[in-house]
Amino acid sequence: MTKARTRVGPSGAASTPGTLPLTLDVDALIDDPSTRIIVCCGSGGVGKTTTSAALGLRAAERGRKVVVLTIDPARRLAQAMGIEALDNTPRPVADVDHAAGGTLDAMMLDMKRTFDEVVESQASPEKAKQILENPFYIALSSSFAGTQEYMAMEKLGQIHAQSGEDGTYDLIVVDTPPSRSALDFLDAPERLSSFLDGRFIRLMLAPARGPARLMTAGLGIITNALTRILGGQVLGDLQTFVAALDTVFGGFRQRAQKTYALLQHEGTAFLVVAAPEPDALREAAYFVERLSEDRMPLAGLIVNRASPAPSGDLSADESMTAAERLRREDPTSLTAGLLRLHADQMRMVEREARLRGRFATTHPQVATAVVPALAGDVHDLAGLRRVGLLLAGGRTQNNA
């Protein structure tokens, strides 16, 4: 049996009997100096960006030297953190409490620019120019599914290497792109490099020498078909692109592999963020399983935007019955309205607890933190502090 610590207090109140998930101790994680990288993963819209910013702020105010690499903060959140300018460089966040000796820098990833920089660093200036202007490169670097993930990893690798040299940061918190599946973050870099390394690409690069004759015959059919569908100029652009990219390609694959290894390192902690919804929790489950297959260190699950648990123990059915009784007497009864709201809230809380219970039963080893939904969006440092506090289980900083 695992030691299951239950949390007392509002967010722990609603767990299903029988399944007591381990509680994720967020403060222990961010205070541990051996935690060097935290990656927040999860499916779209669940709160990855919010969570990473909140964790970064909390860690900084507890004394760590933190940089947060965000991907797509909401406009007002970006403003509050002073990172609307896409310059691909971490900037200090204003109004952070430095009393504990920590610092907070943040940046918003500029995917295309990161890609351009990689190309520029790998190729000669003329070659780089040729690549950067090619329409296929432009498509690839701005909208290929997976480029954003690849570039997030690339940037993480860069910042990590740099802070290893000059010690600017001792904790990097990484947000991940808004893909539909959390797995994309792990799969995309491989997808991109295997694409660049793919059969077709190699074929287009292969000179039509002897043994390749059969292949070349096949290629004839293909180029013919492509020309008919797309027009001849497309194929020309494509060949130029492929040939140019080949020179920088080895570098790409190597870099991706290095970053991947970094993620497997024990100083890395993955946090899987999910909403208390079936789809999001299913994604979270896939992701958790995948992390263990790939021997990547999972720190825990964050169930974000949970319905706040009501305080009393009035059941939904009890409340509905009473509400109907009151409505019969007085159709506008305030108390009936209050009871119906309570019943609605109870049903949501029960459903979410059931969903979490199901996850806990199948993944008992995953420590979990539950963050209730705030009434409004989180778009300033005060909101991030509140989310940070809730992440840490609602304890205040003094008794932590």
Partner 1 sequence: MSEKRTGDWPQVRLHVVTGKGGTGKSTVAAALALALATRGKNVLLCEVEGRQGIARMFDVDPLPPEERRLTTGLPAEDGTPGVVHALHIDPESALLEYLSLYYKLGRAGRALDRFGVIEFATTIAPGVRDVLLTGKLFEAVERNSRNKGAIHYDAVVLDAPPTGRIVQFLNVSNELAGLAKVGPIKAQSDTMMTLFRSPRTAVHLVTVLEEMPVQETSDGIAELRAVHLPVGGVVVNLIRPQDLAADDLADARSGSIDRDRVTADLTVAGMRHERAIVDGLLAEARDHAERRALEDSQRTLVADLGVPTYELPRLPQGVDLGALYELAASLREQGMA
Beta-carbon contacts of 79 under 8 Å, excluding residues fewer than 6 positions away, are 379
**CA–CA separation, 17 and 354 (whole Å):** 10
Q: Does 145 bind ligand ATP (CB under 6 A)?
A: no
Nearer to Mg ion, 48 or 58 (CB): 48
172: β partners: 37, 67
Nearer to ligand ATP, 355 or 389 (CB): 355
**Min separation Cβ 83 and ligand ADP, Å:** 14
Q: At what angle do helices 381-391 and 48-61 cross, to 10 degrees?
A: 90
Q: Which listed residue (85, 338, 365, 382) binds partner 1 by CB under 8 A?
A: 338
- For Mg ion, what does the binding mask look like between residues 360 and 389, x meaning CB under 5 A? ------------------------------
Q: Does 183 bind partner 1 (CB under 8 A)?
A: no
Q: Which listed residue (178, 251, 308, 364) binds ligand ADP by CB under 6 A?
A: 178
Q: Indicate the Cα dihedral angle 275, 276, 278, 279, nearest 10°.
A: 0
**CA–CA separation, 235 and 263 (whole Å):** 38
Q: How many helices (H) and strands (E) does the chain have?
A: 15, 8
Residue 329: both structure tokens together: 């007497």
**CA–CA separation, 380 and 192 (whole Å):** 35
Site for partner 1 in 65-124 (CB under 8 A): 74-76
**Min separation Cβ 7 and ligand ADP, Å:** 17
- SS3 state at 90: coil
Question: What backbone torsions phi and psi does residue 69 show, to the nearest 5 degrees?
Answer: -100, 100
Q: Does 198 bind partner 1 (CB under 8 A)?
A: yes
**Min separation Cβ 312 and ligand ATP, Å:** 24
**CA–CA separation, 183 and 287 (whole Å):** 6
Question: What backbone torsions phi and psi does residue 303 show, to the nearest 5 degrees?
Answer: -95, 105
Residue 182: both structure tokens together: 């959390």
Q: Does 308 bind ligand ADP (CB under 6 A)?
A: no
Site for ligand ADP in 59-98 (CB under 6 A): 74
Q: How many CA atoms lie within 13 A of 303 on its CB side?
A: 33
Name residue, tokens 């966040």: 93
**CA–CA separation, 142 and 59 (whole Å):** 33
Q: Which listed residue (298, 379, 390, 392) binds partner 1 by CB under 8 A?
A: 379
Nearer to ligand ATP, 44 or 297 (CB): 44
**CA–CA separation, 67 and 103 (whole Å):** 8
Q: Does 344 bind ligand ATP (CB under 6 A)?
A: no
Q: Which listed residue (124, 224, 362, 365) binds partner 1 by CB under 8 A?
A: 224
Q: Does 368 bind ligand ADP (CB under 6 A)?
A: no
Q: Which listed residue (84, 87, 95, 279) binds ligand ATP by CB under 6 A?
A: 279
Quick one: which segment of 13-21, 66-74, 88-96, 306-314 binds Mg ion (CB under 5 A)?
66-74
Among ligand ATP, partner 1, Mg ion, none, what binds residue 49 when CB lies within 5 to 8 Å by partner kind?
Answer: Mg ion
Quick one: which segment of 22-30, 322-330, 359-367, 370-378 binds ligand ADP (CB under 6 A)?
370-378
Q: Which listed residue (9, 33, 135, 250) binds partner 1 by CB under 8 A?
A: 135
Question: In 3D, which of 262, 59, 69 has the Cα closest to residue 170?
Answer: 59
Nearer to ligand ATP, 135 or 278 (CB): 278
Nearer to ligand ATP, 132 or 373 (CB): 373
Quick one: which segment of 22-30, 332-340, 345-353, 371-379 binds ligand ADP (CB under 6 A)?
371-379
Quick one: which segment of 62-70, 120-128, 130-138, 265-273 binds partner 1 (CB under 8 A)?
130-138
Question: In 3D, which of 131, 135, 112, 144 has the Cα closest to residue 230?
Answer: 135
**CA–CA separation, 259 and 261 (whole Å):** 5
Site for ligand ATP in 30-49 (CB under 6 A): 44
Q: State how far the alpha carbon of 353 is from the alpha carbons of 275, 340, 359, in Å.
A: 12, 20, 10
Nearer to ligand ADP, 242 or 288 (CB): 288
Which residues sit at the interface with Mg ion, rule CB under 5 A? Answer: 48-49, 72, 178
